[in-house]
Amino acid sequence: MLHHRIVFLALTGLLLGSCAAPATPRQAPAASRATVPHPPARPTGLPAFSHVFVVVMENLGYRAALGVPQLASLAGRWAVATRYYAVAHPSLPNYLALTSGGTQGVTSDCWFCYRKADNLGEELSARGISWGAYMEGLPKAGWLGPWWPPGDYAGKHDPFRYYTDIRDSRSLRAHLQPLHQLTKRLSGPASGVPRFVWVTPNLCNDGHDCPPARAAAWLSGFVRQVTASAAWRHGGVLFVTWDEGNGANPRGVAGIRVLAHGGGGHVFTLVIAPGLPRDLRVSVPYSHYSLLKTVEEAWGVPLLGQTASPAVQDMAAFWGKLRTGGGR
C-alpha cells in the first residue's frame, strides 16, 4: 500500500487533469465489441425491482466471513447465497465480470488496460434506466485516475473507468460519483435515487487494507442506511458480495457445477430485500455472472457476455423461496 501511494504521488501532476480529457497513456489494445446483437433477457420469476443496489467488498472467503461477528449477524438477519463463487483472481477481472459479463481478457489489476466492451452502464443509459456508480474516496465526479491515496480510492475497484465508451463520454462518466453523493440521496424520496446503484467502499472499508472487522462495521452501517431508504423499502434489493476469496483459492462455478479450478474462490454474498424470510439460505451454485444476469433479467435488458449462456443461473430462487414460504 505504501509503495502504491509513493508511486501515485509521483504521478499526481499528470493525473489530476480535467475529467473531460481522459488519460490515455499506456492504453492496452481494446477488446473487440461483439458483432452479433446480444439476445434479449428471457422471461423470469424475478421481481421487476424498483431499485438495485450492489456493494462489492474485498478479499474474504465464505468461511472467514462467517467468522466475523457483524457479518454473521447480517447473515442471520438477511438471505445468503451459500454457494456463490468469484470468477477469477485478482480483483479487476471480477469487477469487469460483474459489469460486462466477461473478464475481457484481463488477468491482472492493470491501471490502463481500457476495454471497448458492452457494459451495464452503457446498456442502462441506452434503455433510459437511471444509474450511478458511487466510489468512496473518489476526488470528484467523473474522475478517471487510477489511484487517489488521500481518499483510499483504487481505480482497479471501479470497473466503469475501464470501458472506453464511458471514458470517452462526458455524460456517461458523469455517472461516476463520490459516495457521499449517494448518502444524501438515500435520505430523500425514492425518485431521487438512481434505479441501479453500484457502491465501491474505499480500500479500508472494503477490507482490502484493513481488518475484516473494520469492513464489517462499515458494511453494517451502510446496510442500515439503504434499508431505511424509500428506494429500498418499496421494491428494492441490495446485493453484497466479495470480489474474490482470500488467498489463491481457485474454486469456481460452471453452470450448476462447482469446480475445483477456474474461479476466484467461495465468497460470502448477501441478498437483502423486503419480505425475504429471515436467515434464508439458497444453495444454488452462483457466480458474479449470476448477479449480473439477475439485474438484466429483472429489467428485461439484453444479456451481456457470459450471462447469455443458459448454463448461468440467475438468482430467482431467492424469490421462489418467498413464494413457497422459504426454506434452506
Its domain, for residue 205, covers 38-324
**How sure is the predictor about 327, in pLDDT bands with cuts at 50, 70 and 90?**
very low
The mean pLDDT of 52-62, rounded to a whole number, is 98
- β-bridge mates for residue 254, sequence order: 257
Report yes or no: 74 and 66 within 8 Å, Cβ to Cβ. no
In this prediction, residue 6 has a pLDDT band, given cuts at 50, 70 and 90, of very low
Q: Is residue 24 part of a domain?
A: no
Q: What is d(CA 301, CA 256) in angstroms, rounded to the nearest whole number?
A: 23
Kindly state the average pLDDT of the residues 107-129: 98
Residue 22 located in a structural domain: no
Higher pLDDT, 13 or 305: 305
CATH number of the domain to which 141 belongs: 3.40.720.10
How many separate domains does the chain show? Answer: 1
Set of cell numbers at residue 273:
430485500
- For 38-76, give one letter per residue: b (16+ CB within 10 A) or e: beebeebebbebbbbbbbbbbbbbbebbeebebbeebbe
Answer whether residue 264 is part of any domain. Answer: yes
**Digit-coded pLDDT (tens) for 152-171:** 999 999 999 999 999 999 99
Q: How far apart are CA 241 and CA 219, in angstroms?
A: 11
Amino acid 305: pLDDT: 98
Within a domain: 11 = no
The CA distance from 240 to 269, in Å, is: 6
What gap in Å lies between CA 201 and CA 179, rounded to an integer?
A: 8
Residue 10 forms part of a structural domain: no
Section 253-274 average pLDDT: 96
Whether 139 is in a domain gets the answer yes
Residue 78 forms part of a structural domain: yes
Q: Band the pLDDT of 38: cuts 50, 70, 90.
A: low
Mean pLDDT of the chain: 88
Asked whether residue 4 is assigned to any structural domain, the reply reads no
Q: What does the pLDDT look like over 197-249, one tens digit per residue? A: 999 999 999 999 999 999 999 999 999 999 999 999 999 999 999 999 988 88
Nearest CA-CA partner of 275 in 241, 313, 229, 237:
237
